[in-house]
Amino acid sequence: RQDQPIAIKYTATKTPKSTLNAVYEVGKYKAGLPLDLLCIQSIMAGIYIGMAGHLYLALGGGVLGSVFFPTGLIAVTLTSAELYTGDALVFVASVLGKKVTVAKLLRNWTVSWTMNFVGGLFWAYVLAYGSDALDDAGARELAIKI
């Protein structure tokens, strides 16, 4: 009958408990990543964020640059790159839930942070020496100001 309410069996969202369980699973997966893969994914995350920062500069900063900066975060998400900030969330929850050891947390955080930095430095080097992107005085001034 049409006057009866429609029963919804499935929802597009997770309950808090199922969300936490999903975070645990991600933590266990990331804790088991081989070192070479962790390094490559972390370097790429640093490059993606560096590219987003470059896009911010190329658009002159301000609101327009801020609107397009999240493209770096989108790239990190779509490629499953290892960005330190996301790993910090996942590993704290996973360690507190006793799903991952503190040693695995320290390994991931150290490699992720260091390789994010290396990726960012690589992109800065490409911009500074491999292109004319910072030859404009305005772009150089904005880059220094940030």
The residue ranges of every structural domain in the chain are 16-145
Eight-class DSSP state of 132:
S
Q: pLDDT tens digits for the chain (146 residues)? A: 556 666 666 667 888 999 999 999 999 999 999 999 999 999 999 999 999 998 988 888 889 989 999 999 999 999 999 999 999 999 999 999 999 999 999 999 999 999 999 999 999 888 888 887 767 777 667 767 76
By the 8 A CB rule, do 142 and 57 touch? yes
Q: How far is CA 101 from CA 91, 92, 96, in A?
A: 9, 10, 9
DSSP 8-state class, residue 31:
H
The CATH homologous superfamily to which domain 16-145 belongs is Glycerol uptake facilitator protein. (1.20.1080.10)
Beta strands in 8-131 (DSSP E): none
- Are 36 and 112 in contact by the 8 Å Cβ rule? The answer is no
The closest of 131, 129, 127 to 143, measured between CA atoms, is 127
What's the Rg (C-alpha) of the chain?
A: 20
pTM of the model: 0.81
| 35 close to 111: Cβ distance less than 8 angstroms | yes
State residue 132's pLDDT score. Answer: 77
